[in-house]
Amino acid sequence: MNTVMITGCSSGFGRATAAHFLDQGWSVVATMRTPRENVLPASDRLRLLPLDVTEQDSIADAVAAAGAIDALVNNAGIGWMGPLEGTPEETIRDIFETNTFGTMEMVRAVVPQMRERGAGTIVNVSSSTTLKPLPLLPVYTASKAAVNAFTECLALELKPFGIRTRLVLPGQAPGTSFGTNAQSRMAEAGGIAEPYRPLAARIFAAHAEAATSEVTEPGDVVAAIWRAVTEPDCPLRLPAGADAVALAG
């Protein structure tokens, strides 16, 4: 039985992806900072493990407990929308620690076992914001653009060992908690600085309008991740959601 390890399964894309792999008969190692048993349906093929991707000991413990991993899905991430000038240094570092360095450390932890077996798939969840520059997203986009470049290099570096590496780029997904969490973090940091408020008002209005049109649903991201894991010849970059596909086109 194949085993997939997925980070960030407490909600959103991670939880939906874990549920799908369970439905398809996979063994699932669903990780989150604080596991809750009611997050996913009970199954003898499901293991819930605590994992903080910013802590190396936590990563080592989770990977050791997971055992043989056929596919790793790096989904854990934090969002942020705000001008660089008003973004605290601590916030910038937190975003990169989770979105960028956390992804890198997870890959470093699982590559040795995949290389020894001569097989494995690594899927890094990035963002469609890397496909089109947008204001108020310089820090978040930079953290995900680094993941893109990292993944593209890994695809070449790990191919000789039988390890496949893929990118999934979701679009705007108003139905998840991602945006809500980002707004909460922004409010805690003092909100949008006054000089940028007219720009922010226009951006937020555009986002609200987009939320009533074609956007990304969790199922779109799940389908892209499933394809990345199960289709050996799929493209390296997989946009997920109608808006992401339009940007990639």
The residues assigned a catalytic role are 10, 126, 140, 144
Cα distance between residue 191 and residue 185, in whole Å: 9
Place of tokens 């199960």: 230
The Cβ of residue 158 has, within 10 Å, a number of other Cβ atoms equal to 18
Scored b (16 or more CB within 10 A) or e, 181-214 reads: ebbebbeebeebeeebeeebeebeeebeeeeeee
- Structure token pair of residue 244: 């992401």
Query: How would DSSP label each residue in 110-156?
Result: HHHHHHHHT-EEEEEE--GGGTS--TT-HHHHHHHHHHHHHHHHHHH
Cα distance between residue 163 and residue 70, in whole Å: 10
Q: What are phi and psi of 29, to 5 degrees?
A: -105, 100
Report the greatest alpha carbon distance in the chain: 56
| Residue type present at position 17 | T
Quick one: which of 238, 39, 241, 249 has its CA closest to 125? Answer: 238
Q: Do residues 130 and 81 lie in contact, with contact meaning Cβ atoms separated by under 8 Å?
A: no
Q: Do residues 5 and 120 lie in contact, with contact meaning Cβ atoms separated by under 8 Å?
A: no
Q: Three-state SS for 83?
A: coil
Place of tokens 């922010």: 200
